[in-house]
Amino acid sequence: MQSIFLLLGLSAAISATPLGQQVPLSETEPAGQVLASRKPLSGRFLHITDFHPDRLYKPGTSIDRSCHHGVGPAGYFGAEGTDCDAPLSLVNETFRWIEDNLKDNIDFVIWTGDSARHDNDEKVPRSAEEIVQLNKFMAQKWIELFSQGQSEDTLAAVSKLSVPVIPTFGNNDIMPHNIFDEGPNKWTKRFAEIWKGFIPEDQRHTFVEGGWFTSEVVPGRLAVISLNTMYFYDSNSAVDGCNAKDEPGYEHMEWLRVQLKILRSRNMKAILMGHVPPARSSEKKNWDETCWQKYTLWMHQYRDVVVGSLYGHMNIDHFMLQDSNKVKIASDADGKASIRSKANYLESLRDQWSSLPSPPTDVFKNFDEIMSGNYNSGVTSAKKGKKHNKKDKKKRKFLDKIGGPWAERYSVSLVAPSLVPNYFPSLRVVEYNITDLENVAFGADLTSYETHTTSDDLDYTAHETFESDTSTPEVQKKKKKDKKKKPNFKVPEPPSRTAPPGPAYSNQAFSWLAYTQYFANLTQINHEVATGQRGDDPRIDFEVAYRTDDDVYQMKDLTVRSYFKLAARIAEEDEADADSHSDSRIRAADWSATDKKKPINTAWRAFLSRAFVGFEDIDDLID
Ligand SMILES: *[C@@H]1O[C@H](CO)[C@@H](O)[C@H](O)[C@H]1NC(C)=O
Ligand SMILES: *[C@@H]1O[C@H](CO)[C@@H](O)[C@H](O)[C@H]1NC(C)=O
Ligand SMILES: *[C@@H]1O[C@H](CO)[C@@H](O)[C@H](O)[C@H]1NC(C)=O
């Protein structure tokens, strides 16, 4: 096995695994399959979500009647800006576009659920069979797209897929929607069949048990962990959070902890993905609090392993920061979200971000400089105290508050907007760092972490000791009080003190560098179809909505501290940075230019506009 690694290191090509050959995630065995004929990594993957295919969609019907009945403006490729689901013409054209434009340039696909229509037409209620058929249709689409060579049993043509696809349960992939009982159940069993082409063979049993699994997309280096967020979801009345040992949410978190522990011991990294994101603000709370608590703790303790996490469900493009200092907030009922309430939710995020610790000097002028590695953490710098001037002390205080120069107090979850045109149909291509992967890849010391991880049974005290590194005296006082409460679960060990920051924090192999958000302007396309400008066999083009490294977001990578910086910029008072923004920036941020454009924080404006995929008039929302 060692020689295979060596050979590969020399031949300088590692790549995404066809699923059938994926390696068991076991503690004893590193990756060891034949990797010969794979194409090299391209450093890109696709994140696509919430297709909501609907066979009943009829162009020309009423948008108030689910685009199924009546007479109305429902367009050929879908009714943009409505709650109607996606016609198959849109789904088919999206796959056609991916085939023509992305197929050969991506390493894997993150597909975050809701692959059936909504239950929004009382005249035609959904059936379990319809949900299964729609999901089969979608699975088949991926298989057709990525299968190499012919096979009769396409659902089983696993080993022939050129690109791994990783699915996950959406709250509309089951019936009744949102309600997902403990596994094994009929849904986990049924989807184990439907997703046979995507779930590695050694993970099938796990999947039937709980609806979650791991897929090693870069063997021995990178795993994608598909979470079953139905067990965390507040609206799932069949389960009750992650605290009680007999809850599937508890079991899920235990499984996740063990997976991350194993990945750490193998010196591997992990991307987490799921359908319902861990939104938690004064306006919206998606997960049971006990699940959020564990998730945030796991993300923090395994911050050397987790590359990032990706979700769908909410249909709006945004991100959230999980604060490992666990601010206590009021929870809120989960209602059906109108655009206004979604805007309120986005504003509540902005409110949260406005209380992020702020850097001492002029806001963000010297942010990168302050954030640069020139920083002595806690103990060391206290000893050298006198040598530092006042400015340095302020810097240190700020950095201490955010968990050091890499902002390790926080973790980030990204939410991609939907393919179903609640606004415009959208998809995302994420670029990640593959520099030096060839060299580093197989020379890693697989035992380097094991010397530090001797016991799994850490108690809360150990965890608190670690956390006190980054907290203020007030927080520490409060923590002392909390210390008495010991948790009924194993608290994961933090990274070894000598471990370098993980790929979510400092740019290295597998770090996300940027993404390009694409959208299809259905208003224009439907109009052109209706007026015959797109011919008899109309097609869809996706175009670039924005890139994270553009003039507005200015993110030099997608590390947590880049998101921290963006969040803080979004939260800034209006106009605070006005003169630093050129006209072109304002134009780029403003997709729906109107005369009454108010002078307003450009980053906030862009964030809002992008949340609604450029569809909504941002001035109306801001007023
Ligand atoms: C979509 O593609 C499927 C094959 O994948 C085909 O059977 C179906 O007729 C197509 N539907 C539309 C509306 O193009
Ligand atoms: C990738 O990470 C390496 C450090 O391992 C860094 O030197 C390089 O600049 C990064 N590549 C990009 C494109 O950011
Ligand atoms: C979409 O197309 C319509 C009609 O051509 C246009 O008015 C609108 O500005 C476009 N929207 C975006 C975000 O490009």
The predicted-structure confidence for 117-167, as pLDDT tens digits, reads as follows 999 999 999 999 999 999 999 999 999 999 976 554 555 544 568 999 999
Please tell me if the CB atom of residue 92 comes closer than 6 angstroms to any atom of ligand 1.
Answer: yes
Please tell me if the CB atom of residue 528 comes closer than 6 angstroms to any atom of ligand 3.
Answer: no
Output the 3-class SS for 341-409. Answer: HHHHHHHHHHHHHHCCCCCCCCCCCCHHHHHCCCCCCHHHHHHCHHHCCHHHHHHHHHHHHCCCCCCCC
Residues in the chain: 623
Nearest C-alpha to atom 1 of ligand 2 is from which residue? 508
508 sits in the region (left: phi over 0; alpha: psi -120 to 50; else beta) called: beta
> What per-residue confidence (pLDDT) applies to 26?
42
Specify the range with the lowest mean pLDDT, choosing from 293-307, 420-434, 453-467: 453-467
Quick one: which ligand is closest to 86's CA?
1
pLDDT in tens, 482-498: 444 566 788 899 999 99
Please tell me if the CB atom of residue 523 comes closer than 6 angstroms to any atom of ligand 3.
Answer: yes
Find the 191 Cα to ligand 2 centroid distance in Å. Answer: 39
Nearest C-alpha to atom 3 of ligand 3 is from which residue? 524
Residue of 88, 90, 136 to test ligand 1 pocket, by largest number of atoms within 8 Å of CB: 88
Provide CB contacts within 8 A for 148, sequence distance 6+.
160, 161, 162
> What per-residue confidence (pLDDT) applies to 370?
65
Find the 253 Cα to ligand 3 centroid distance in Å. Answer: 44
pLDDT in tens, 224-277: 999 999 999 999 999 999 999 999 999 999 999 999 999 999 999 999 999 999
**Residue boundaries of the structural domains of the chain:** 2-357+405-561, 574-623
pLDDT in tens, 528-576: 999 999 999 999 999 999 999 999 999 999 999 999 999 999 998 764 4
Q: 541, 620, 507, 446: which is closest to 43 by C-alpha?
A: 507
Please tell me the distance from the alpha carbon of residue 510 to that of residue 60, in angstroms, as a whole number.
46
Quick one: which ligand is closest to 510's CA?
2
Ligand 2 nearest atom to the CA of residue 440, by list position? 5
**Is residue 577 within 8 Å of residue 282, measured between CB atoms?**
no
pLDDT in tens, 317-336: 999 999 988 633 222 333 34
What CATH number is given for 2-357+405-561 in this structure? 3.60.21.10
Nearest C-alpha to atom 6 of ligand 3 is from which residue? 524
> What per-residue confidence (pLDDT) applies to 464?
32
Find the 439 Cα to ligand 3 centroid distance in Å. Answer: 46
Find the 429 Cα to ligand 1 centroid distance in Å. Answer: 25
Cis peptide bond N-terminal to 176, omega within 30 = yes
302 exposure class (CB count in 10 Å sphere: 0-12, 13-18, 19+): buried
Find the 521 Cα to ligand 3 centroid distance in Å. Answer: 6
Please tell me if the CB atom of residue 436 comes closer than 6 angstroms to any atom of ligand 2.
Answer: yes
Residue 17 has pLDDT above 70, yes or no: no
pLDDT in tens, 43-93: 999 999 999 999 999 999 999 999 999 999 999 999 999 999 999 999 999
- Tokens standing for residue 164: 């791994």
Please tell me if the CB atom of residue 513 comes closer than 6 angstroms to any atom of ligand 2.
Answer: yes
pLDDT in tens, 447-480: 333 323 333 333 333 333 333 334 445 544 554 4
Nearest C-alpha to atom 5 of ligand 3 is from which residue? 524
Ligand 3 nearest atom to the CA of residue 614, by list position? 13
Please tell me if the CB atom of residue 506 comes closer than 6 angstroms to any atom of ligand 2.
Answer: no
Sign of CA dihedral 294, 515, 563, 329: negative
> For residue 414, what are the CA distances in angstroms to 313, 316, 529, 556?
11, 11, 34, 17
Residue of 517, 518, 521, 613 to test ligand 3 pocket, by largest number of atoms within 8 Å of CB: 521
Find the 201 Cα to ligand 1 centroid distance in Å. Answer: 29
Ligand 1 nearest atom to the CA of residue 89, by list position? 13
Please tell me the distance from the alpha carbon of residue 178 to that of residue 118, in angstroms, as a whole number.
11
Please tell me if the CB atom of residue 558 comes closer than 6 angstroms to any atom of ligand 2.
Answer: no
Find the 507 Cα to ligand 2 centroid distance in Å. Answer: 6
Please tell me if the CB atom of residue 88 comes closer than 6 angstroms to any atom of ligand 1.
Answer: yes
Percent of the chain with pLDDT over 70: 73
Please tell me if the CB atom of residue 521 comes closer than 6 angstroms to any atom of ligand 3.
Answer: yes
330: number of Cβ within 10 Å:
7
Of these ranges, 341-345, 373-377, 549-553, the one predicted with the greatest mean pLDDT is 549-553
pTM of the model: 0.83
Please tell me if the CB atom of residue 437 comes closer than 6 angstroms to any atom of ligand 2.
Answer: no
Please tell me if the CB atom of residue 433 comes closer than 6 angstroms to any atom of ligand 2.
Answer: yes
Beta bridge partners of 125: none
Please tell me if the CB atom of residue 559 comes closer than 6 angstroms to any atom of ligand 2.
Answer: no
Q: Is 426 helix (H, G, I), strand (E, B) or coil?
A: strand
Ligand 3 nearest atom to the CA of residue 615, by list position? 13
Specify the range with the lowest mean pLDDT, choosing from 434-438, 463-467, 610-614: 463-467
Find the 477 Cα to ligand 2 centroid distance in Å. Answer: 40
DSSP string, 479-491: HHHHTTS--SSPP
pLDDT in tens, 162-190: 999 999 999 999 999 999 999 999 999 99
Please tell me if the CB atom of residue 591 comes closer than 6 angstroms to any atom of ligand 3.
Answer: yes
DSSP count for the chain of H helices, then E strands: 19, 12
Quick one: which ligand is closest to 537's CA?
1
Find the 359 Cα to ligand 1 centroid distance in Å. Answer: 54
The C-alpha R_g of the chain, in whole angstroms, comes to 24
Find the 460 Cα to ligand 3 centroid distance in Å. Answer: 54
Residue of 523, 587, 610, 617 to test ligand 3 pocket, by largest number of atoms within 8 Å of CB: 523
Please tell me if the CB atom of residue 89 comes closer than 6 angstroms to any atom of ligand 1.
Answer: yes
Instruction: Kindly state the helix (H) or strand (E) to which residue 270 belongs, with its residue range.
Output: strand 269-273
